[in-house]
A and B are shown apart, each in its own frame.
Chain A
Amino acid sequence: MTLRRKALTLRWLTLLVLFGLVEALPRAGLVRPATLEPASVILGRLMEIIVTGSIPSPYFARTGSPTLASHVSATLGSILLSYAGAVVVGTAGGVLLWRVPLLARILQPYLVVYYALPLFALYPLFILLFGVGFLPIVLLGFCFAIVVVMVNTALGLRRVDEEVYPKVGRSLGLGPAQMYLSIYLPAAAPYVFSGWKLGFVYSTISVVASEFLISVRGLGHVIDRSYRNFETANMYAAILLVIAGVLVANAMLTRLERRLYRRRG
């Protein structure tokens, strides 16, 4: 408990120090306003954007949509779609990798180098194949998130096989369905969930980054255009929105995990 409290105190303290630095550096003139605005200005802008529901930007007023909702819904929609696909297909794929060792052996080197490849370098190909708009963004997010879900699911299930639990299940006379539901699922849950959590982060990274390049809407687009138009406060406000979204999603997944883990088998 004391460790927890200590960690919590230090965590807020680092945040405060960071806030102080971000506040002081631009005000002291050590950093140009095009690079960084004072923290109070960024937070003030974030509040303004949330309260008014629109981005105070000459650029967006002129060319795009200044309303916050249109950007948030675009980003959120792309993330949720790509993430849902990655969770469903990735978890099933992980089960398959575990059940078919030959498949796992064949795919292993590809899975290992997967995240070392610059998947984004393929975005022109995605545009070529799927056009401009939601589809290439969602598909890139799906591709980016699916492998981490798959690998963690397979890893978790393989770990269960090394444990005594399957033996216990068999000695208690469980059938195949009962083995899956009552032994493998709960025993592998911690691994599967860490895959799901990482998958959400990967999905978010991919969607926001794709929006930089191939979208006219979304928070990634806002970050990119604000940067190009020297609207630094808008850019950081949008970045903070993305961070807040990831934190909320992670907290929700953690809660779900605890509830399932504590559930009566």
Chain B
Amino acid sequence: MAIIEIRGLRKVYRPDTGAPPVEALRDVSLSVEAGEFLAIVGPSGCGKSTLLEIVGGLQAPTSGDVVVAGEPVRGPRADVGIVFQEDSTFPWLTTLDNVKFGLRARGVPAAEQEERARQVIQLVGLRGFERHYPRELSGGMRQRVAIARTLVLRPKILLMDEPFGALDAQTRLLLGNELLRIWQEIGATILFVTHDLIEALRLADRVVLMTRRPGRIKRTVETAAPRPRDERLMASTEMARLANLLWEELREEVGEEGQG
């Protein structure tokens, strides 16, 4: 059974400045299987982030509904974790306290907080940086802290909104591989928003391509290629075909935007 069911989702923003309403999403339907790694790609401003925030319960849809684990979403759920694009680590807390933040808020006993936080810090490769403040860490390390802060709550579903968007190419590649390793270790379902087609194909089981605004689902491609998908595999005929196909579709969207 699907762990996430999105049916007929529509989102319209009505600015209180009196500007005309903006339709961000139109008739989006999608189901995600438990344990799946699903990537969502699309031109910027296509409503990918909006979709993710609706699934995460941070925004309400205008119409349509989202069902997670059999229950309609009405707000943030304890078993859904979100990782944001921008640096979201709390600058006033150390790595360890950042990671413990959600546990503390949920009233987990101190000893358990400590143990779970240290485990996850180890998992994301930040051992030795427990006492550092975010300003003493690189952008990639801060994003690891943010991921750890979410993972420590053991979410069944991980929503990631361009989590590596602000990082350089090498760090992206490295963190992508680590994310796959972690995903295989914890067995969560991942919804991964990105504007990078290759990143999407390298990581996901299924890639959903969205149109420009109002965002609809244009095309879905699946790949069963074994992981890790290194440079050689990514250059193989099959992957190149998928990448080209997605690229053509995406170019249409960006091109139309340019003409309009």
- Residue in A168, A178, A265 whose beta carbon sits within 8 Å of that of B92 in the complex: A265
Considering only CB atoms, which chain B residue lies closest to A172 in the complex? B102
B65 at the interface (CB under 8 A from A): no
Interface flags for B81-108 (1: CB within 8 Å of A; 0: not) read 1101011101011000100011011100
Q: Which residues from chain B sit less than 8 Å from chain A, CB to CB? A: 53, 56-58, 76-78, 80-82, 84, 86-88, 90, 92-93, 97, 101-102, 104-106, 149, 153
Q: Are B92 and A186 in contact (CB under 8 A)?
A: yes
CA gap between A261 and B86 in the complex, in Å: 22
* Residue A241 is within 8 A (CB to CB) of chain B in the complex: no
In contact, A171 and B56 (Cβ under 8 angstroms): yes
Which residues of the other chain, A, contact B102 by a CB distance below 8 angstroms? 172-173
* B212, chain A: closest CB distance, angstroms: 24
- Among B56, B84, B88, B101, contact of A265 (Cβ-Cβ < 8 Å): B101
Contact indicator B93/A170 (Cβ below 8 Å): no
A171: chain B residues within 8 A (beta carbon): 56-58, 76, 80-82
| Smallest CB gap from A182: residue in B | B105
Smallest beta-carbon distance B132→chain A, Å:
13
A172 and B88 form a contact (CB under 8 A): no
Contact for A170 among B58, B97, B153, CB less than 8 A: B58
Which of A164, A165, A174 has its CB near the most chain B CB atoms (within 10 A)? A164
- State which of B90, B106, B149 has its C-beta within 8 Å of the C-beta of A186: B90
Q: Does A264 contact B (CB under 8 A)?
A: yes
A188 CB, nearest partner CB in chain B, Å: 11
Query: What are the nearest 3 A-B pairs in CB distance?
Result: A172-B102, A171-B82, A186-B92
Name the distance in Å between A258's Cβ and chain B's nearest Cβ. Answer: 11
Q: Which residues of A contact B78 (CB under 8 A)?
A: 173
Known pairs A186-B90, A261-B92; A178 contacts B84 (CB<8 A): no
Chain A 151-188 per-residue mask, 1 if CB under 8 angstroms from chain B, else 0: 00000000000001101101111100010001000110
Residues of chain A lying within 8 A (CB to CB) of residue B77: 173
Which residues on B sit within 8 Å (CB–CB) of A168?
A: 82, 84, 88, 90
A189 within 8 Å of B (CB atoms): yes
Contact A164 B88 (CB under 8 A): yes
Query: A178 and B88 in contact (CB under 8 A), knowing A167-B58, A265-B93?
Result: no
Contact of A172 among B86, B92, B101 (CB under 8 A): B101
Contact B92 A189 (CB under 8 A): yes
The minimal Cβ–Cβ distance linking B114 to chain A, given in whole angstroms, is 13
**Is there an interface contact between B92 and A167, defined as CB atoms closer than 8 Å?**
no
Instruction: Evaluate contact between B90 and A165: CB separation under 8 angstroms.
Output: yes
In the complex, which residues of chain A have a beta carbon less than 8 angstroms from the beta carbon of B57? 171
* CB <8 Å contact, A174 and B105: yes
* Residue contact B92 to A173, C-beta cutoff 8 Å: no
Question: B105 near A178 (CB under 8 angstroms)?
Answer: yes
Measured in the bound complex, the distance between the Cα atoms of B82 and A172 in whole Å is: 8
Instruction: Decide: A164 near B105, CB < 8 A? Known: A187-B92, A261-B92.
Output: no
Max chain A C-beta neighbours (<10 A), residue from B84, B102, B104, B105: B105
A167 touches B101 (CB 8 A): no
Known contacts A172-B105, A173-B76; A264/B56 CB under 8 A: no
- The closest CB in chain A to the CB of B86 belongs to A164
Q: How far is the CA of A167 from the CA of B78 in the complex (A)?
A: 14
Task: Assess whether A172 is in contact with B153, with CB atoms less than 8 Å apart.
Answer: yes
**Further 4 A-B residue pairs, CB within 8 A, beyond A167-B58, A171-B57, A265-B92:** A182-B101, A182-B105, A186-B90, A189-B92
Q: In the docked arrangement, what's the CA distance between A165 and B84, Å? A: 10
Decide yes or no: A264 and B88 within 8 Å by CB, A171-B58, A173-B76, A173-B102 being known contacts: no
Flag if B106 contacts A173 (CB, 8 Å). Answer: yes
Q: How many angstroms from the CA of A170 to the CA of B77 in the assembled complex?
A: 10
Q: Nearest Cβ in chain B — how far from A189, in angstroms?
A: 7
Write out the residue numbers on chain A whose beta carbons fall within 8 Å of the beta carbon of B106. Answer: 173
A170 to B56 CA separation, bound complex (whole angstroms): 10
Q: How many Å lie between the Cα of A172 and that of B76 in the bound state?
A: 7
Give the distance to chain B from A73, nearest Cβ to Cβ, in Å: 37
Residues of B within 8 A of A178 (CB): 105
Residue with the highest number of chain B CB atoms closer than 10 Å, among A167, A186, A264: A167
Within the complex, the shortest CB–CB distance from A178 to chain B, in Å, comes to 5
Check B97–A264 contact: CB distance below 8 A: yes
Chain A nearest CB from B130 CB (Å) reads 13
CA A189 to CA B84, docked complex, whole Å: 23
**A123-B102 Cα distance, complex, nearest whole Å:** 53
Beta-carbon contacts of A227-265 to B below 8 Å, as 1s and 0s?
000000000000000000000000000000000011111
Of chain B, the residue at the smallest CB distance from A171 is B82
The CA of A174 and the CA of B88, in the complex, are separated in Å by: 16
Complex contacts, B86 vs chain A, CB 8 Å: 164
Give A263 to B93 CA distance when docked, in angstroms.
Answer: 8
Which of A164, A171, A178 has the most B CB atoms < 10 Å from its CB? A171
What residues of A have a CB within 8 angstroms of the CB of B101 in the complex?
172, 182, 265
20 contacts between A and B (CB under 8 A): A164-B84, A164-B88, A167-B58, A167-B82, A167-B84, A168-B82, A170-B58, A171-B56, A171-B76, A171-B82, A172-B76, A172-B105, A172-B153, A173-B106, A182-B101, A182-B105, A187-B90, A187-B92, A261-B92, A264-B93
